[in-house]
Amino acid sequence: MELTLDQVREELATIHDQLLALPVDDYAARADLKERQQELRQLSAKLAEGLPLHDRDALLAAFNRLHEVRDRMIAERLSVSGEGAGDAGIDNVFISAINKAIDSGLGLEDVEKRMEQILRQLKSSN
């Protein structure tokens, strides 16, 4: 049975939530979910070919959801301002490297790219 575009997007949202809930060090599960996510993204692009752009309300809802996800990811970073881990004498360069790894593992870059895409779609639909 072939999936519909809505089913693909629903599964992508579920995978995204699962990735956020995974412990950072669960590399095997994260790799499996990322692989499935890539497959679904490709399928989604194929299924969406030729369809009209999303309506403005759907784009705004998606953007707002991604903005909340992004804010949660950023809030989980280690502080380089001397609070928390910085007080323990951990070098700021090391903290920055940890934050970069956390961002990568959580997919922060993907979230921000999708937010940019949505903003471009909103601008082009005006």
SS3 of 77, please?
Answer: coil
Mean pLDDT (whole number) for 20-24: 85
Specify the pTM: 0.47
pLDDT of residue 28: 93
Confidence of residue 16 (pLDDT cuts 50, 70, 90): confident
How many Å apart are CA 16 and CA 44, to the nearest integer? 15
pLDDT of residue 23: 87
- In this predicted model, which residue has the larger pLDDT, 99 or 25? 25
pLDDT of residue 109: 81
Convert the pLDDT of each residue in 62-80 to its tens digit. Answer: 888 889 888 887 777 766 6
DSSP letters along 20-56, please?
Answer: HHS-TT-HHHHHHHHHHHHHHHHHHHHHHTTPPPPPH
pLDDT of residue 3: 80
CB distance 69 to 48 below 8 Å = no
Among 70, 50, 53, which Cα is nearest to 121's? 53
Q: What is the mean pLDDT of the chain?
A: 78
pLDDT of residue 54: 57
Confidence of residue 111 (pLDDT cuts 50, 70, 90): confident
